[in-house]
C-alpha cells in the first residue's frame, strides 16, 4: 500500500450541510434495493443493492485465476473450470451493507449516503471455501485469511486492492462459499464476476467480489479495510471495534402508493395488510413488532417460520391494519435473541451498523 495525495480523512458534514455532489455521484453508482422489492423472497435480477468502492473491473474469465497462498502446505492456482467442476452448494443469503442507514445520522459521516435500501437476498452457488482451504492445507499458527479483489483504488489517501480478512474460524465455517452464480445465472459484473466470497450473517464488506487471491496469514491482517475502515468508533483517534455480523432489522414494503417527489405514502381506508422482511446475522430472530401510532403502542406481526434450508435469509412478516382516514406513522422493529432494534440510533464516526427502526408516514384518504 502506498500513500497518494488525496483527501486523507473521512469527513463529517457540517451542521445543516446537504448531500454534496461527491455523495450524489456515489449514490448513483451504488444503488439500493427499491423497498417494494421486499415483496419478493429472492430479490429479482437488477434490484439487489450494489456497493463498489472503486471501479467494477472487467475480468476476463478465461485468463482469471484464483491463487491460494500464504501459510498453506500446498499453494494452489485454480481456474474457473477447475473450480466449477467441484461439488457445488446453493444458499439463499441476505446481505446488507454496513453503511445502511448512514444518511440519517447527525452529524452525517460523508460517504455513500444510504437510507434503508442497502440490502438484498440472492441464491448463491459455489463451493465451500473450507474445502479449498483443506486442499491447500492450512499450517499450524494460521490466524486470519485475507481475500483480495481485482479492483484497485485509493481511499483516504491509501492506494490499495480491495482486501478484507476473516478470522480463521469464520473462514472455515462450512457455509462460507466461493460463489460463481447468483440466482441460477453467472455472476453479473457488478456482483463480482467471475467469483465472489459469501459469508452468511456478516455485513456486506466481508463478501469480497472479483476474488483473485486468498492468503492465509500467521498474524492478524492490518490492511485498510479491516484496520481503518469498518470499525465502530467514537472519533478519529479511537481504534474502535470491528464491524462483523448483521444486527437485527425489519423493513416494510411501503403500503399504498407514493408521491413522485416526496415518496410520501397514500392509502384508501379499509382493511390492509402490512408486509415486509426481517433478518439478523448475529442471533436467531424472535419476533417482528409493528406500531401504527409512531411507536406509542406495538403489536406482534405474523413472522414466517425459519426455513431450515436458509438460516441466513430474511423472513417474511405480515400484519393486518384497518386504518381510519388521517395521518399515521408506521414503525416496524425486529427482535432477535440479543434484543430489539433501537428506536434512536447510537452514533458512530463511520456511520456503521445503524439499525434504527424504519418509520413510514402514511396519509389515509377520506372515505
Ligand atoms: N472486491 C470488492 N468486494 C467488495 C466490495 C468492493 O468494493 N470491492 N464492496 C463490499 C461491500 S462494502 C458490500 S456492501 C458488498 C456489496 O455486494 P453487492 O454489490 O453484490 O450487493 O460487496 C463487498 N465486496
Ligand atoms: Mo458495504
pLDDT in tens, 104-125: 999 999 999 999 999 999 999 9
| Residue 4 clears pLDDT 50, i.e. is over it | no
The C-alpha cell at 159 is 492506494
Residue to mutate (ligand 1; options 57, 100, 192, 229; most atoms within 8 A of CB)? 192
How many residues belong to the chain?
A: 367
Q: How confident is the model at residue 77 (pLDDT cuts 50, 70, 90)?
A: very high
Q: How confident is the model at residue 1 (pLDDT cuts 50, 70, 90)?
A: very low
Whole-structure pTM value: 0.97
- For the chain, what percent of residues have pLDDT higher than 70? 98
What pLDDT is stored for residue 2 in this prediction? 46
The candidate with the shortest Cα–Cα distance to 328, out of 248, 275, 274, is 274
Question: How would DSSP label each residue in 107-130?
Answer: SPBSSS---S--EEEEEEEEEEHH
Residue to mutate (ligand 1; options 37, 50, 51, 99; most atoms within 8 A of CB)? 51
Ligand 1 pocket, residues with Cβ under 6 angstroms: 48-53, 95, 97, 120, 149, 151, 162, 191, 204-205, 207-210
What pLDDT is stored for residue 293 in this prediction? 98
Burial of 299 (0-12, 13-18, 19+ CB in 10 A): exposed
* Residues whose CB is less than 8 angstroms from the CB of residue 54 and which lie 6 or more positions away in sequence, other chains included: 151, 152, 153, 162
Distances (CA, A) of 258 to 31, 116, 265, 292, 355: 19, 16, 5, 18, 24
Question: Mind listing the pLDDT tens digit for each residue in 280-322?
Answer: 999 999 999 999 999 999 999 999 999 999 999 999 999 999 9
DSSP, collapsed to helix, strand or coil, labels residue 171 as: helix
Mean pLDDT of the chain: 96
Q: Once rounded to an integer, what is the mean pLDDT over residues 208-235? A: 97
* Rounded distance from Cα 113 to ligand 2 centre (Å): 11
- Looking at all shown ligands, the one closest to residue 95's CA atom is 1
Residue to mutate (ligand 1; options 209, 242, 244, 352; most atoms within 8 A of CB)? 209
Question: Mind listing the pLDDT tens digit for each residue in 223-256?
Answer: 999 999 999 999 988 999 999 999 999 999 999 9
* Rounded distance from Cα 98 to ligand 1 centre (Å): 10
Domain annotation for the chain: domains and CATH numbers: 2-242 (3.90.420.10), 249-364 (2.60.40.650)
The C-alpha cell at 306 is 425459519
Q: How confident is the model at residue 7 (pLDDT cuts 50, 70, 90)?
A: low
Q: Using CA of residue 294, residue 295, residue 299, residue 303, what is the dihedral sign?
A: positive
For ligand 1, atom 10, the nearest C-alpha belongs to: 205
* Residues whose CB is less than 8 angstroms from the CB of residue 185 and which lie 6 or more positions away in sequence, other chains included: 45
| Residue 3 clears pLDDT 70, i.e. is over it | no
Which of 245-249, 255-259, 275-279, 345-349 has the weakest average pLDDT? 345-349
| Residue 65 clears pLDDT 80, i.e. is over it | yes
- For the chain, what percent of residues have pLDDT higher than 90? 96
- Strand (E) or helix (H) holding 201: none
Question: Mind listing the pLDDT tens digit for each residue in 111-167?
Answer: 999 999 999 999 999 999 999 999 999 999 999 999 999 999 999 999 999 999 999
* Rounded distance from Cα 17 to ligand 2 centre (Å): 23
Distances (CA, A) of 294 to 86, 300, 310, 340: 52, 15, 32, 16
DSSP, collapsed to helix, strand or coil, labels residue 342 as: coil
Rounded CA separation 94/117 (Å): 12
Amino acid at each position: 500500500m502506498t500513500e497518494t495525495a488525496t483527501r486523507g480523512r473521512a469527513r463529517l458534514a457540517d451542521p445543516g450541510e446537504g448531500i454534496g455532489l461527491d455523495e450524489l455521484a456515489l449514490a448513483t453508482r451504488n444503488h439500493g434495493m427499491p423497498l417494494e422489492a421486499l415483496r419478493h423472497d429472492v430479490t429479482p435480477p437488477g434490484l439487489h443493492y450494489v456497493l463498489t468502492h472503486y471501479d467494477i473491473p472487467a475480468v476476463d474469465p478465461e485468463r482469471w485465476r484464483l491463487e491460494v497462498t500464504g501459510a498453506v502446505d500446498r499453494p494452489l492456482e485454480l481456474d474457473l473450470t477447475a473450480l466449477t467442476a467441484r461439488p457445488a452448494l446453493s444458499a439463499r443469503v441476505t446481505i446488507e451493507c454496513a453503511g445502511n442507514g448512514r444518511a440519517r445520522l447527525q452529524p452525517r459521516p460523508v460517504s455513500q449516503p444510504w437510507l434503508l435500501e442497502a440490502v438484498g437476498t440472492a441464491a448463491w452457488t459455489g463451493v465451500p471455501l473450507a474445502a479449498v482451504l483443506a486442499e491447500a492445507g492450512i499450517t499450524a499458527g494460521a490466524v486470519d485469511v485475507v481475500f483480495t479483489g481485482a479492483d484497485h483504488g485509493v481511499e483516504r489517501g491509501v492506494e490499495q486492492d480491495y482486501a478484507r480478512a476473516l478470522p480463521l474460524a469464520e473462514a472455515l465455517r462450512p457455509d462460507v462459499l466461493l460463489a460463481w452464480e447468483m440466482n441460477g445465472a453467472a455472476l453479473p459484473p457488478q456482483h463480482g464476476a467471475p467469483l465472489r466470497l459469501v459469508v452468511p450473517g456478516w455485513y456486506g464488506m466481508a463478501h469480497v467480489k472479483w476474488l483473485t487471491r486468498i492468503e492465509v496469514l500467521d498474524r492478524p491482517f492490518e490492511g485498510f479495510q479491516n484496520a481503518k475502515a469498518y470499525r465502530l468508533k467514537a472519533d478519529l483517534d479511537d481504534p474502535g471495534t470491528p464491524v462483523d455480523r448483521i444486527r437485527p432489522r425489519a423493513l416494510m414494503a411501503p403500503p399504498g402508493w407514493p408521491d413522485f417527489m416526496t415518496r410520501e405514502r397514500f392509502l384508501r381506508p379499509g382493511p390492509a395488510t402490512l408486509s415486509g422482511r426481517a433478518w439478523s446475522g448475529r442471533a436467531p430472530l424472535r419476533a417482528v413488532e409493528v406500531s401504527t401510532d409512531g411507536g406509542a403502542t406495538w403489536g406482534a406481526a405474523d413472522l414466517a417460520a425459519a426455513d431450515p434450508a436458509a438460516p441466513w435469509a430474511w423472513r417474511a412478516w405480515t400484519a393486518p391494519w384497518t386504518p381510519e382516514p388521517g395521518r399515521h406513522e408506521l414503525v416496524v422493529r425486529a427482535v432477535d435473541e440479543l434484543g430489539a432494534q433501537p428506536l434512536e440510533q447510537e452514533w458512530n464516526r463511520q456511520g456503521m451498523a445503524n439499525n434504527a427502526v424504519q418509520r413510514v408516514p402514511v396519509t389515509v384518504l377520506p372515505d
